[in-house]
Structures are given as C-alpha cells and as structure tokens.
Amino acid sequence: MTRFSLPDFDLDAFVRATLAEDLGAGGDITSMATIPADARFGGVMDSRDAITVAGLPIAERFFQALEPGMEIEILVEEGAAVAAGSDLMRLAGNARAMLTAERSALNTVQHLSGIATMTRQYVDALAGTGATLLDTRKTIPGLRVLEKYATRMGGAKNHRMGLWDAAMIKDNHVAVAGSVEEAVRRAVDAGIADIIVEVDRVAQVEPALRAGATHLLLDNMDLDELRECVALVGGKVPTEASGGVRLDTIRDIGATGVTYVSVGRLTQSAPAADIGLDFALA
C-alpha cells in the first residue's frame, strides 16, 4: 500500500478528540448493555457507490485506538477509483470496540472519500487543457489538513494551507490600501516572496504585475476576459481562474490558457460517499 502521511497533523489527538466527543462521560452504553465484553466480530467496510477512496488509514486508527490488536486489512490504495460494491477494509476483533469506533471511522472515510470523488471528477473534466486543479481554504475549521489530503487523493494540487504560506491580496485589502499597486508594493516591502493578487478587472493586471505580483488570481471573469488577461500576462507569472467554477464549465475555463483553476466547492460542498460497515460473528 502507498505510505500514508499527514505532515504537521496530530492524527492521534484527532482520533482521541473524535472518540471522546462520541463517548462522552458514559461511554457506549448500548454496546456495553447488549454485547458481552469478550464477544468478537468480523466486519467488511464497503462502498455502495463508485468512489475515489481517501481516509482508510485514518479509519484504521479509530479501531486500533480501542483495540490495538484488532486485525485490519486495508484492501485498496488511497486515491484509487473503485466500483460500487467494492470491499475497502476487512476487520476482526472485539465486538464492543468495533461497534464503538464504527461511526467515527465511517464518518471520516465518507467525508474524505466524498471530497476525493468530487475532486477526481473535476480533474478528469480539466484533463488535456494544460491547466491544473487547485483546492482552496474553504474548509471545515479543524479539518483543513484532512480535507486537503482528500483533494490530493483526488488529483488536485494543494494551494495555500493557511494565511502564513503566501500573501493573498483580495478586494478588501485593496480597498484599505487604496489601490492594487499600493497593496502589492506594501507586500513586497514586507519581504514576502509569494504574492498572490486577486484581480476582477482586466485593467488591474498590469498595475499588479508592475508592483511585483508573483501570481494572479482572475476572479469571476468570463472566458473572453480570462483569455485577455492570459495574453497580457504573457507567461510572466502563473494565472489562476477562480469563482463559481462548476463541473460543466471547468473545461472551457481551463482551455483559456490559465495555469490553474481553483474550486472551493471541492471542500465546501462535496457530498459524503456512501460507505458502510457490515458485521458478522467472528
């Protein structure tokens, strides 16, 4: 299997906090009341729809947190496209532990696989245009690293993990600074190496470049405007089309010559994948 890695993310802390939220002060009272402490279960996690898979190693950690010796076999690679009905993971171990961890594990895989699945659809629609799909910061608070991991599994490129890794000069920054050129000049003077500038009019392109922008975000422009901006930039810096991009429009947008197309709905609006866990006595 592909090596699973989430740099700078405390997965153990995430697992503990998620389980604690579900268990509360009383624990899994249903399982404790109905299932003998030494009962064993076998289970199979499977997908009811065709999906792109993300999050199985995280699900594994939920089960292992409650029974370190649980037997778990991950059956598919992260980022793999699987058909409806595909088995994703096999488990065998303590029944109480398995049932207690089930919802946290499934919620995580369903959410991340939903993001990866939608991302793959956009990547496939963009293929051949020369443009690359980017994700955004439109993520659920606390889940950004996981959600951006899921977009990577779907084939997108991560873009701006936070406010710290590149300047992003948007319309409100421009309004306070007085102009695009002045906002960019201040970022340059601050010694920032990567300066992304959002422009929503063609007339803003040349002032942004002249002041030192290193990346232009072309916001909510139509196809003709995108082509005009790409021509004006002439390859000096990367260009990124953004704003209201849909699956049925992304290919035409990518074909304008932009370097990137960013899509917020990948992490903001992806539906959960339909994944279940079916149990049998072990």
The kind and range of the H/E element at 196 are strand 195-199
84-121 in b/e form (b: 16+ CB < 10 A) is eebebbebebbbbbbbbbbebbbbbbbbbbbbbbbbbb
> Residue for token digits 């084939």?
155
Residue 260's closest CA among 173, 169, 136, 121?
A: 136
The rounded distance, in Å, linking the Cα atoms of 242 and 228 is 15
Backbone φ and ψ for 220, nearest 5 degrees, come out as 55, 45
Is residue 138 annotated as a catalytic residue, yes or no?
yes
Is residue 157 annotated as a catalytic residue, yes or no?
no
Among 147, 181, 198, 240, which one carries the catalytic annotation?
Answer: 198
The rounded distance, in Å, linking the Cα atoms of 80 and 51 is 8
Is residue 236 annotated as a catalytic residue, yes or no?
no
Among 60, 78, 147, 219, which one carries the catalytic annotation?
Answer: 219
Locate 63 and state its tokens.
């089960």
Is residue 198 annotated as a catalytic residue, yes or no?
yes
Is residue 102 annotated as a catalytic residue, yes or no?
no
The rounded distance, in Å, linking the Cα atoms of 194 and 179 is 19
What's the burial of 165, exposed, middle or buried (CB within 10 Å: 0-12/13-18/19+)? exposed
Q: Note the Cα 2 to chain centre separation in Å.
A: 18
Among 40, 90, 138, 227, which one carries the catalytic annotation?
Answer: 138
Among 170, 186, 227, 251, which one carries the catalytic annotation?
Answer: 170
Among 103, 152, 227, 251, which one carries the catalytic annotation?
Answer: 103
For strand 239-242 and strand 81-82, is the pairing parallel, antiparallel, or unpaired?
Answer: unpaired
DSSP letters along 15-34, please? HHHHHHHHHTTT--HHHHHH
Residues known to be catalytic:
103, 138, 170, 198, 219
